[in-house]
């Protein structure tokens, strides 16, 4: 009987049972979200993914030679960089992200990334999403197409000269950086802000110019919100 009292309000048995089942479903979802992590870690190791991807931080590369020796982008901050849902979709159907082959400035990216089956993609995604960086603060920057961000991206800093974007159904922009055409599906705006403002943490050796100290904090947040809204 005492269990049927919530905050001193007497409730019917039916409502009580309904509440219990909602609670049960919520608990199930919560544990299920983490359930794939150990399986995903095992699949990551078995799939030799680590031969091309770094999964523990901090950034290991110190020289251009170190960067050129890398065969794929680092994933040690994947859980802070990517949006939930994106990794699972991408691992099952890996469409090229970078127009050019990794570390190349001339060779086209021919695709052909290892593909994972449904369950494996989901487990590996859960594992990668558990890899967070404390340097990405949860600021809650919201993806937003804002005029200041757009002007900064297109004109002031020519981000567009190195990154592809989609306007009116057409893909335009430079080839040297990863495509940002689907950034709204892929990237967490808080990570974009952290990446732009503290490049040494995420990319100590890089081809992209350093903008920290050039773009002020407010403009940087607007730019992160804008990039995060690209589709
Ligand atoms: C031979 C090297 C190689 C192997 C093995 C490999 N990858 Fe990759 N991976 C790459 C390259 C290169 C890219 C960049 C692809 C692109 O931009 O289109 C990439 C991209 C990724 C990305 C997106 C990262 C980003 O920043 O854009 C994820 C996630 C990923 N790989 C996971 C995996 C997993 C999981 C495995 C094991 C099943 C794996 N990779 C095996 C080379 C590799
Ligand atoms: C000279 C070419 C160049 C310019 C200009 C440039 N970028 Fe980049 N960007 C790159 C390259 C190359 C990378 C891949 C990492 C690296 O090597 O630095 C990158 C990576 C990124 C990433 C990470 C994407 C991912 O999926 O990993 C973001 C976000 C980004 N740039 C945003 C910007 C913004 C915003 C601007 C303008 C303020 C800008 N870039 C200007 C070349 C450029």
Based on the domain organization, do 147 and 206 belong to the same domain?
Answer: yes
**Residue 11 confidence (pLDDT) above 60:** no
In a domain, 158, yes or no: yes
In a domain, 160, yes or no: yes
**Residue 6 confidence (pLDDT) above 50:** no
Based on the domain organization, do 188 and 216 belong to the same domain?
Answer: yes
Based on the domain organization, do 105 and 74 belong to the same domain?
Answer: yes
Based on the domain organization, do 85 and 109 belong to the same domain?
Answer: yes
Q: Provide the pLDDT for residue 206.
A: 85
Residue nearest to atom 6 of ligand 2 (CA): 159
Contact between 100 and 92 under an 8 Å Cβ cutoff? The reply is: no
Name every residue whose Cβ is closer than 8 Å to that of residue 92 and which is 6 or more positions away in sequence: 115, 116, 117, 118, 121
**Based on the structure, what is the number of domains in the chain?**
2
Residue nearest to atom 9 of ligand 1 (CA): 72
For 168, which DSSP code?
A: T
In a domain, 10, yes or no: no
Looking up tokens 């567009």, which residue turns up? 160
Q: What number of CA atoms fall less than 13 Å from residue 14's CA on the CB side? A: 0
Q: Which of 134, 169, 201 is the last residue of a domain?
A: 134
102 lines ligand 1 (CB under 6 A): yes
Q: Which of 75, 108, 134 is the last residue of a domain?
A: 134
Based on the domain organization, do 109 and 127 belong to the same domain?
Answer: yes
Based on the domain organization, do 127 and 158 belong to the same domain?
Answer: no
In a domain, 13, yes or no: no
**Residue 2 confidence (pLDDT) above 70:** no
Q: Provide the pLDDT for residue 13.
A: 53
In a domain, 170, yes or no: yes
Residue nearest to atom 11 of ligand 2 (CA): 177
In a domain, 60, yes or no: yes
CATH code at position 176: 1.10.760.10
pLDDT by residue (tens digit) across 14-48? 444 455 444 444 444 444 457 899 999 999 999 99
| Dist. CA 127–CA 120, nearest whole Å | 10
Residue closest to 72 by CA, chosen among 39, 108, 38, 101? 101
Based on the domain organization, do 124 and 140 belong to the same domain?
Answer: no
Contact between 40 and 128 under an 8 Å Cβ cutoff? The reply is: yes
- Bridge partners, 100 (sequence order): 108
Based on the domain organization, do 120 and 156 belong to the same domain?
Answer: no
pLDDT by residue (tens digit) across 52-94? 999 999 999 999 999 999 999 999 999 999 998 999 999 999 9
CA of residue 57 to ligand 2 center, whole Å: 20
Based on the domain organization, do 130 and 207 belong to the same domain?
Answer: no
Start-end of H helices in the chain: 13-46, 64-69, 78-81, 86-92, 118-129, 147-151, 183-186, 189-197, 199-202, 217-228
| Dist. CA 9–CA 227, nearest whole Å | 49
Tell me the best of 46, 52, 126 to mutate to test the pocket of ligand 1, counting ligand atoms within 8 Å of each CB and taking the most.
52
Q: Provide the pLDDT for residue 84.
A: 84
Start-end of H helices in 47-188: 64-69, 78-81, 86-92, 118-129, 147-151, 183-186
Based on the domain organization, do 67 and 130 belong to the same domain?
Answer: yes
57 lines ligand 1 (CB under 6 A): no
Based on the domain organization, do 169 and 101 belong to the same domain?
Answer: no
Q: How many CB atoms lie within 10 A of CB 121?
A: 22
Grouping H, G, I as helix, E, B as strand and the rest as coil, residue 117 is coil
Based on the domain organization, do 140 and 225 belong to the same domain?
Answer: yes
Q: Does the reported pTM lie above 0.85? A: yes
In a domain, 64, yes or no: yes
Q: Provide the pLDDT for residue 207.
A: 86
Q: Which of 79, 101, 134 is the last residue of a domain?
A: 134
Instruction: Quote the domain boundaries for residue 127.
Output: 36-134
In a domain, 53, yes or no: yes
């Amino acid at each position: 009987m005492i269990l049927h009292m919530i905050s001193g309000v007497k409730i019917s048995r039916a409502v009580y049972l309904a509440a219990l089942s909602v609670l049960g479903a919520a608990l199930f979802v919560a544990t299920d979200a983490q359930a794939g992590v150990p399986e995903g870690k095992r699949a990551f190791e078995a799939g030799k993914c680590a031969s091309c991807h770094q999964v523990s931080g901090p950034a290991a590369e110190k020289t251009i030679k170190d960067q050129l020796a890398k065969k794929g982008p680092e994933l040690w901050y994947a859980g802070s960089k990517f949006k939930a849902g994106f990794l699972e979709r991408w691992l099952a159907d890996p469409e090229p992200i970078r127009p050019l082959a990794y570390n190349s400035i001339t060779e086209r990216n021919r695709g052909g990334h290892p593909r994972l089956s449904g369950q494996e993609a989901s487990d590996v995604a859960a594992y990668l999403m558990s890899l967070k960086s404390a340097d990405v603060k949860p600021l809650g920057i919201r993806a937003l197409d804002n005029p200041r961000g757009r002007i900064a991206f297109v004109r002031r800093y020519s981000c567009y000269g190195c990154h592809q974007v989609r306007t009116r159904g057409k893909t335009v922009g430079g080839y040297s950086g990863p495509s940002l055409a689907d950034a709204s599906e892929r990237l967490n705006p808080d990570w974009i802000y952290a990446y732009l403002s503290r490049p040494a943490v995420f990319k100590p050796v890089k081809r992209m110019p350093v903008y920290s100290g050039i773009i002020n904090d407010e403009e940087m947040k607007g730019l992160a919100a804008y990039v995060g809204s690209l589709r």
